[in-house]
């Protein structure tokens, strides 16, 4: 279904502290991606804990869509800012967008 939450990224200042905190609160375990400070959440909803950066200035939610191009066009028509399409080989495509009030969100279309 279009609009369902597919993935999220918790953007934090200190990933070690965040892993400890959310592990204690929710029982989450994490699995680091090789060579990155990007930690996949295990035993919880699909997502990751990652450091804040220019690419991830705030926590981000990914919403599933059936037709990424049509959804990006609708966002533009409604006064939002559609993002550039980014291919994720073997998974699909994403785009980081803003709504008409400047709220950041991302879209995901599966392959």
Of how many residues is the chain composed?
111
Is residue 106 within 8 Å of residue 62, measured between CB atoms?
yes
> How many angstroms from the chain centroid is the CA of residue 1?
17
The pair phi, psi for residue 17, each rounded to 5°, is -65, -40
Residue 10 has pLDDT above 90, yes or no: yes
Q: How far apart are CA 68 and CA 15, in angstroms?
A: 31
Is residue 51 within 8 Å of residue 12, measured between CB atoms?
yes
> Residue 66 burial by CB count (10 A; 0-12/13-18/19+): exposed, middle or buried?
exposed
Look at residue 44 in the predicted model and tell me its pLDDT.
82
DSSP summary character for residue 81: B
Look at residue 1 in the predicted model and tell me its pLDDT.
61
Q: How far apart are CA 46 and CA 38, in angstroms?
A: 13
**Most distant CA pair in the chain: distance in Å?**
43
Mean pLDDT of 84-92: 95
> How large a percentage of the chain has pLDDT more than 70?
99
Q: Taking all residues of the chain, what is their mean pLDDT, rounded to a whole number?
A: 94
């Amino acid at each position: 279904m279009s609009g369902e939450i597919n993935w999220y990224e918790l953007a934090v200042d200190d990933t070690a502290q965040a892993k400890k905190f959310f592990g204690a609160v929710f029982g989450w375990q994490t699995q680091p991606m090789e060579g990155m400070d990007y930690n996949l959440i295990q035993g919880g909803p699909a997502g990751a804990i990652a450091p804040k950066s220019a690419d991830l200035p705030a926590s981000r939610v990914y919403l599933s869509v059936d037709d990424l191009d049509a959804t990006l066009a609708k966002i533009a028509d409604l006064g939002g800012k559609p993002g550039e399409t980014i291919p994720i080989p073997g998974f699909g495509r994403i785009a980081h967008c803003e709504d008409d009030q400047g709220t950041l969100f991302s879209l995901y279309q599966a392959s």
